[in-house]
Amino acid sequence: MILKSHNLLSGIAALLSMAACGRTTDGSSENPRNPFAGMEEVQLTVDAKGHFLHTTQQFSPDDQWIVYDTRNEGSHIGRTCCIEMVNTASGEVRQLYQTEGQAEYGPGVGSATFNPEAQEVLFIHGLQNCDSLRPYGFSRRTGVMIRTDAPQQPVFLDARDVTPPFTPGALRGGTHAHTWSADGQWVSFTYNDDIMAQISKEEGSRKKDLRMVGVMAPYGPVKVEHDGTGENIDGRLYSAVVTEVIENPPPGSDQISRAYEDGWIGTEGYRRPDGSRQKRAVAFLGDVRNENGQKLTEVFVADIPDDITLAAFERPTEGTLYSRPLPPAGTTQRRLTHTQDRKYPGVQGPRHWLRSLPDGSLIFFMMKDEDGQVQIYGVSPNGGDVQQITDNDFSIETAFNVSLDGKWLVYGSQEIAYITEIASGRAWQASPAPPVGASGMRAPNFSNAGQMIVYNRKVALQDSSYYQIFLLKPGSSSSR
């Protein structure tokens, strides 16, 4: 059931409020609750290269810096050399990391995120032995951390071991789209397994490299045996896959063939119906099959135990030569949404990662409404009715984020950033009309203090166009 409601406790009052105020307004003085009314847009970067933001955690803990990679197309991580950061006040740019021997085939870096509690940046790094025969790929990458006061000194967080017998706490493939937990101690990621990728290439094989979700935890370091090929890597943290996937989910079941676009639930997990707290949990998208065998994408949750080093009986977390890594003992995987009977069933819209309220009581995702417009919806991690949060007369065209105080959503459409007040559903235009020729708005997000909004746009320069970083900030000029 879909409820057009914006607060779990507000009931009919919230429905009436949304019916009266839910449509997007222009952010003028007649709408005093818009916190970004009158703010100016600043273009922070200007160089003739890409300045590509990850979808979340772009700001340093003190909001003084924004981190990015230097690709100019989303699919070009393997060709990208550098991680940089730009100062939100002065526009000063500092390089944090540059790959050695960067070539068309790798190693490549991208998708950089700031630890919310420390001056540390985590990003995707292709394997250092990448070449034309072993190029950068989904199952050939890892997570590397750099301290901002120690540039060019990489710390590999997830261990990698593709030589049997495999090592508990190490993975056998590639991690990406890393997200720090609110306390900066754990990391969630999406994962592709290299052992399964190789098996899938064998003639007649029914095995596939199916995307999964995993986490890293401070139970390392993890040491592996090195065979001289550069394929195996030691890691500072202990890693485990926390979702279970199969090649052919039975129609109508809750089994999935893919787990992806993960996000931590709450700053300290969420409350169960009995009042107890699930301290760590990750929401993610899972691909199921409906009764007719058609693929649908639904919202799932993985409840994660405090100790991920323990394996269930005869279910090795490190996997075997012929099977995937399996979740640690005590991990549970649950389906939250059942949208097969909607006019537009399944999660839809632009690629986006799931987000939640700080208290973990609501998980946000995108679907089409009855008019075919892409909106943001919410569901409790305990399941139940799905609630419509936004009620715009246009489709959302970018990923979205939630302010750290849990009051606002930010997203983009037609090169403009919009915000929605979660409690009421009221929406406002946050950024001004885009300059002529601007394109490709992406990755809008709030600063940690909630006083700024950052996003990417492509800007024409020297007969080409490049992703630049734009910032909405108080008391600023429209140009540096």
Q: 270 vs 279, 383, 408, CA distance in Å?
A: 7, 12, 19
3-state class (DSSP) for residue 240: strand
Predicted confidence band of residue 23 (pLDDT cuts 50, 70, 90):
low
pLDDT at position 13: 32
Measure the CA–CA gap between 144 and 221, rounded to whole angstroms.
14
Measure the CA–CA gap between 388 and 378, rounded to whole angstroms.
6
Q: How far is CA 449 from the centre of its chain?
A: 20
| Mean pLDDT of all residues in 259-286 | 98
Predicted confidence band of residue 273 (pLDDT cuts 50, 70, 90):
very high
pLDDT at position 203: 79
* 432 occurs within a structural domain: yes
Q: What is the domain range of residue 385?
A: 1-36+341-453
* Residues in contact with 4: Cβ distance below 8 Å, sequence separation at least 6, in sequence order: 15, 18, 19, 22, 387, 388, 391, 425
Measure the CA–CA gap between 362 and 215, rounded to whole angstroms.
21
pLDDT at position 36: 79
Residue 133 has pLDDT above 60, yes or no: yes
pLDDT at position 415: 96
Measure the CA–CA gap between 294 and 272, rounded to whole angstroms.
32
Residue 480 has pLDDT above 90, yes or no: no
Residue 17 has pLDDT above 80, yes or no: no
Q: 241 vs 50, 217, 238, CA distance in Å?
A: 32, 11, 11
Q: Across the chain, what does the average pLDDT equal?
A: 92
Measure the CA–CA gap between 258 and 262, rounded to whole angstroms.
12
* 25 occurs within a structural domain: yes
pLDDT tens sequence across 61-118:
999 999 999 999 999 999 999 999 999 999 999 999 999 999 999 999 999 999 999 9
Indicate the residue type of 6: H
Residue 303 has pLDDT above 60, yes or no: yes
| Mean pLDDT of all residues in 38-60 | 95
Residue 475 has pLDDT above 50, yes or no: yes
Residue 387 has pLDDT above 80, yes or no: yes
The C-alpha angle 250, 253, 254, rounded to 5 degrees, equals 125
Residue 157 has pLDDT above 70, yes or no: yes
Measure the CA–CA gap between 204 and 407, rounded to whole angstroms.
52
The number of folded domains in the chain is 1
- Retrieve residue 234's tokens: 């030691």
* 415 occurs within a structural domain: yes
Which pTM does this prediction carry?
0.92
Torsion, CA 317, CA 320, CA 324, CA 327, rounded to 10: -10
3-state class (DSSP) for residue 230: coil
Measure the CA–CA gap between 239 and 309, rounded to whole angstroms.
9
* 395 occurs within a structural domain: yes
Residue 5 has pLDDT above 50, yes or no: no
Strand partners, 176: 190
* 478 occurs within a structural domain: no
Q: Break the chain down into helix, strand, coil percent, rounded to 5.
A: 5, 40, 55
* 277 occurs within a structural domain: no
Which single residue is written with the structure tokens 């009715």? 385
Measure the CA–CA gap between 390 and 365, rounded to whole angstroms.
11
Predicted confidence band of residue 261 (pLDDT cuts 50, 70, 90):
very high
Q: Are 289 and 253 in contact (CB under 8 A)?
A: yes
Q: Are 285 and 299 in contact (CB under 8 A)?
A: yes
* 322 occurs within a structural domain: no
Residue 202 has pLDDT above 80, yes or no: yes
- How deeply is 106 buried, as exposed, middle or buried, from its count of CB atoms within 10 A (0-12, 13-18, 19+)? buried
Indicate the residue type of 50: G
* 117 occurs within a structural domain: no
Which residue, 243, 245, 345, is CA-closest to 297? 345
